[in-house]
Amino acid sequence: MVSPDTAEAPYARVKRFLKDGLERGEWPPGALMPSEAELVARFGVSRMTVNRALRELQGEGLVERSQGVGTFAAQRHRLASTLTIRDLHEELAARGQQHEAEVLLKAEEAAPPALAERLGLAPGAPVFHTVIVHRADGLPLQLEDRYVNPAAAPGYLDVDFATTTPTHYLLQVAPLWEAEYSVEASAASAEEARRLAIAEGDPCLVVVRRTRRLDGPITIARLVHPGARYHLEGGFRP
């Protein structure tokens, strides 16, 4: 009779062995780590198996490998941390809060030159523009000022944003995309303060998000949150 819970996949054993060693500082950053052949001998597994362990560690940024040379403990300096920026509606739903969206503007406009460039359009070309206040249980949480490339989402203006988040709709229309974020703190303008029910000059967390697909930019959104009511959380990918 075997104990099934004790069973750990061989590749996982190899991986854990290496990870533990790294964590204990056995191989300081830059140090040469055991070769695949050594690990094959030590663990009595096939090369594919240790290869998988090493490849995964590489994907996690814990080791660096180069053909013909060897595997090395990674330099753990440039820390890339993952901050989760979720769709507000989902975030609120997860917390069991009521989400309301008030549409302040929903129009087609002529893109000013600076915006046109960022959206990959000709100056003066039509863009979709929406401004929406999102509230959680009645309290304003986000002022969303968004421009959308009509080519990427022709039906954007027909969406009922009281029931569908722009993010949600755009995800459906343009499933796989890339995004760039910028996060900063700034003081609320008079307009923003009014929309968010805070005082002018109050600190706000501002997220600017630009998304693209291969064929060009999709949308640029400026999300303004009252500093006192909103924060981002995240973790480090080990």
Partner DNA sequence: AAGTGGTCTAGACCACAAT
Partner DNA sequence: TTGTGGTCTAGACCACTTG
| Contact footprint for its own copies (CB under 8 A) | 19, 22-23, 25, 28-29, 48, 59, 62, 76-87, 90, 168, 171, 175-187, 201-206, 211, 213-214, 225, 227-228, 230-238
3-state secondary structure of 86: coil
Token pair belonging to 216: 């060009």
Least Cβ distance, residue 124 to its own copies (angstroms): 29
Binding flag, residue 238, DNA (CB under 7 A): no
| Phi, psi of 193, rounded to the nearest 5 degrees | -60, -45
Tell me the window of 16-24, 65-73, 89-97, 123-131 that interacts with DNA (CB under 7 A): 65-73
Q: Which of DNA, its own copies, none does residue 38 bind to, with CB < 5 to 8 Å depending on kind?
A: DNA
Is 106 or 230 the residue whose CB approaches its own copies more closely? 230
Amino acid identity of 84? T
Q: Which of its own copies, DNA, none does residue 49 bind to, with CB < 5 to 8 Å depending on kind?
A: DNA
Least Cβ distance, residue 120 to its own copies (angstroms): 17
Place of tokens 């300081």: 28
DSSP letter string over 15-60? HHHHHHHHHTTSS-TTPBPPPHHHHHHHHT--HHHHHHHHHHHHHT
> Can you say whether the dihedral through the CA atoms of 176, 180, 184, 187 is positive or negative?
negative
Among 26, 46, 75, 181, binds DNA (CB under 7 A): 46
Binding flag, residue 68, DNA (CB under 7 A): yes
3-state secondary structure of 121: coil
Binding flag, residue 4, DNA (CB under 7 A): yes
- Please calculate the CA angle 150-104-130 and round it to the nearest 5 degrees: 15
- Contact yes or no for 71/18 (Cβ under 8 A): no
Q: Which of DNA, its own copies, none does residue 28 bind to, with CB < 5 to 8 Å depending on kind?
A: its own copies
Among 16, 23, 26, 47, binds DNA (CB under 7 A): 47
Among 69, 176, 185, 214, binds DNA (CB under 7 A): 69
